[in-house]
Structure 1
Amino acid sequence: MKEITTINLRYLFMLFFIFSYNFIYSQEIQIDVKRSNKPLFKAFPAHGDDKQPSELLKVFMIQEGKESQTPLLGLYSKNEDTIFFQPQFEMGDGLSFNAHFYNKNDTVKTFYKTPSINLNITNEIFVKEVFPRSNKIPKNILTFYIEFSQPMLEDESAFRYVNLYNENKEIVPHVWLNKSRWISDKILMLMIHPGRVKRGIKYYDNLGDVFYVGKKYYLEITDKVKPLHKNSKVKSFTKGFEINYPTASCPKILKNKFSIPRRNSKEKLKIVFDKPMDLYSILGGISINIYNKDINIQGKFIPGSDDTEWYFIPEKPWTEKKYTLIFNKYVSDPSGNGLIKPFETTKIKKSYTKDIVKVINFRTN
């Protein structure tokens, strides 16, 4: 009887050990839905991995049963063995997403769907802003951004419904890269095909340049761009602008024009550059940490009076005395000139391979 009891105890102990091991080391994704359209994704455990949090946890939108190839833009942080991710923008209504946690040789996937709204409501959707916002744009511009007033269907063929006209109101053909990218459900990113801008790439050579200095052009966003809800309708919009000489200089950060917030306040941090900057590169290329700590400050960037000024609005008050501004290699002007690397360059420098190219510490007032 004692022998049987001993065997049973050993067996139970082994089962308990296996269960405990799997429980402790199993990978998991949790979703905090206090803000259902902007949830907080948590992935753990992530110990013993030297990869960046953005490489380990990614969230993708699902459209028509297919998962997007581009992950959502957002803010990452890590506390001990847990990675946190919160989308930069609200995720829309009634949309489906997959969260992927890549850790070691395994991948965990979790499905999430935002709450739906009443689709019987009819809305007129208008264009809130077109970036660059200036009416004078450099000849070698790479990207335009269109911000809509309401969530849109993140259609990768949306570029087909945006036209570029010259000053004679003739359509300029074959301008866009044949794939649209949405950096949120309200902001459409349109890239001019690099072959029409960058030297050394042969692409429709017989068409000539897209832009000519001193000439006027018109960007037309038609009502064919698809809204998220079928009963909504986009109001067409046209932005006129003039072409300036191309720019090849690297942007400079003007620290003397910064506006530093007061401690224990939620005041905006003002960041200023010497030239207009690219919208997406600011939203995804600048982060703020507590000084000497790997703790990210959550918040959002908004443009100032022009594209040289940008403001960071924190979600919570500035409680620390000192913070660190981190600029990665993607921060650039609309022509692709980064903080240390011009877009058109034949030089190869070791510094060009760095992910972080500039760090600025600042003290709250």
Structure 2
Amino acid sequence: MALAFSTEPARAEGTRATEPLLQIQPHPDAHHVTVAARIPKEEQAKIPVGKLSQEQGESWLRLMLVGAELDDALSAMLGHYERRDETLSFTPRYALVPGKRYLARVAWGTTGAAGTVVEYRAPALPAAPAAQVVAIYPTAAELPANQLKFYLHFSQPMRQTREIFEHIDLLGPQGRPVEDPWRRTELWSEDGKRLTLLIHPGRIKQGIQLGTLLGPVLDPDQSYTLIVHATMLDANGRPLGQASTKKFRTKQAERTLPSVKDWRVAAPRRATQEPVRITFPRPMDRALLDRMLTVKTELGEAVGGRIEIRSEETVWDFHPHHPWRDSPYIVVVDPRLEDLAGNNPGRLFDAAFTETEPVATTLEIPFQPAPQ
């Protein structure tokens, strides 16, 4: 049955203009909205006051994206329901897609199946540069077969929804998508510009049933391609400007501890702002390198500076804000710093499922600036 609809707030006969039955209230950006429905007196006892669950709220009030035809309305959008006084409101979790039509429908028990319907069209956005994938980490062309994470960096904040996994593929050696490679948990940075893709640990750790059933995601000595499709949407609902890919080849799994004793330290010259440099024998986790190595004076005072990561995440440079003094310094290593396989200086990623001898780990690296 076709739905009758209006682009104006729905009002009951004989009510004042300030009392619409149903309205879609745009926020200042016009792509975030709140849907408000006035609850009839005969229905008020049925609806609890305060926050409602998705299941509760959508039994009365729904906001739906409309297809090419009005009858093609999709399922109710996810969001937050709340009853205050005589009003039931719904706020979608995400911004509306620019240029798309939406229907709000409220159906009380006394109004019939179709209920009251109001339409809203999200305005199109002005022309703007499309979001791009600006970096994919790790940058190395050869990765261990037990690689744990990928980091996708975008030029603009992206839409945070589980649908993102439908826009990312990992192609195997034969060019076919690897089945269910990801742990489908959204891991976004606060600014919405970095997504952490976590390969499902159950298909990496040894002796886990999931890995036994489906096999590992990556096999040694094979070629793979990670693809971020152009259909992924930014926070404003616009697709990426183009697809991005990372091709890599795998080597044997890395199941040894990254030892701090094996790291090479190059001290800077005193009275300069040259970097102190640490070179790792294997690539380390890019995101963790930004925050898990710090520089302090011999008295424990933090040294301010800028971090630079180079050479496929095997070189860490720390550029101080002020010249080095003629005194000892320490690079403090957080023991949670990981290599590409999730191993840290004190524990293998597989430690809970394999027997590992305790390994003494030095977590402070002293250095003294050299004379000019």
Which range, TM-score by smaller chain?
Answer: 0.5 to 0.7
User: Which of 298, 301, 304 matches 1:298?
Assistant: 304
For residue 321 of structure 1, report the CA deviation from its aligned partner.
Answer: 2.4
Distance 1:344 1:232, change over 3 A: closer
Matching residue of 1:197: 204
- Counterpart contact for 2:204–2:211, Cα < 8 Å: no
Contact 1:156 1:179 in 2 (8 A): no
Q: 1:147 to 1:313 in 2, by over 3 A?
A: farther
Q: Structure 2 matches for 1:59-208, cutoff 5 A?
A: 120=126, 122-148=128-154, 150-153=155-158, 155=160, 157=162, 158-183=164-189, 185=191, 186-203=193-210, 205-208=212-215
Structure 2: segments with no counterpart, 5+ residues:
1-78, 81-124
Q: Is residue 259 of structure 2 the alignment partner of residue 246 of structure 1?
A: no
Between 1:174-183 and 1:132-141, the stretch displaced more is 174-183
For 2:324, the equivalent position in structure 1 comes to 318
- The answer for the alignment partner of 2:85 in structure 1 is none
Match of 1:308 in 2: 314
Deviates more, 1:255-264 or 1:171-180: 255-264
* Residues 340-349 or 160-169, more deviating: 340-349
1:361 aligned to which of 362, 366, 369: 366
Relative distance call for 1:324 and 1:124 in structure 2 (3 A) is same
Query: Structure 1's 220 and 264: CA in aligned 2 closer, same or farther, altered over 3 A?
Result: same
Q: Say whether the 8 Å CA contact 1:254–1:274 is kept in structure 2.
A: no
Partner amino acid for 2:149? T
Instruction: Give the ranges of 4+ consecutive aligned residues of structure 1 lying more than 6 Å apart after TM superposition.
Output: 348-352
Q: Quick one: distance in 2 between partners of 1:175 and 1:231?
A: 26
Q: Residues of 1 paired with 2:273 and 2:319: CA distance?
A: 7
**Unmatched 5+ residue regions in structure 1?**
1-63, 66-118
Q: AA paired with 1:362?
A: F
Tell me by how many angstroms 1:125 deviates.
Answer: 3.1
Give the Cα separation in 2 of the matches to 1:357 and 1:255: 10
2:223 corresponds to 1:216:
yes
What residue is the counterpart of 1:277 in the other structure?
Answer: 284
Contact 2:159 2:237 in 1 (8 A): no
**Secondary structure, in 3 states, of the residue corresponding to 1:258?**
strand
Aligned: 1:329 with 2:335: yes
User: SS at the partner of 2:290?
Assistant: helix
For residue 194 of structure 1, what is the amino acid of its counterpart? P
Matched, 1:258 2:290: no
Amino acid at match of 2:207: G
Sort the Cα spacing of 1:159 and 1:280 in 2 relative to 1 into closer, same or farther, 3 A. Answer: farther
Secondary structure of the residue that 1:289 maps to in structure 2? Answer: strand
1:51-80 deviation per Cα after TM superposition (whole angstroms, max 9, x unaligned): xxxxxxxxxxxxx89xxxxxxxxxxxxxxx
Give the 3 Å change call, closer, same or farther, for CA 184–223 of structure 1 in structure 2.
farther
Instruction: Please give the secondary structure, in 1, of the residue aligned with 2:363.
Output: strand
**Whole-Å Cα distance in 1 between the matches of residues 241 and 130 of structure 2?**
6
Whole-angstrom distance in 2 between the partners of 1:176 and 1:189? 10
**Bigger share in helix:** 1
Contact 2:229 2:242 in 1 (8 A): yes
Stretch moving more, 266-275 or 340-349: 340-349
- CA distance in 1 between counterparts of 2:287 and 2:257 reads 17
Give distance in 2, aligned partners of 1:254 and 1:226. Answer: 44
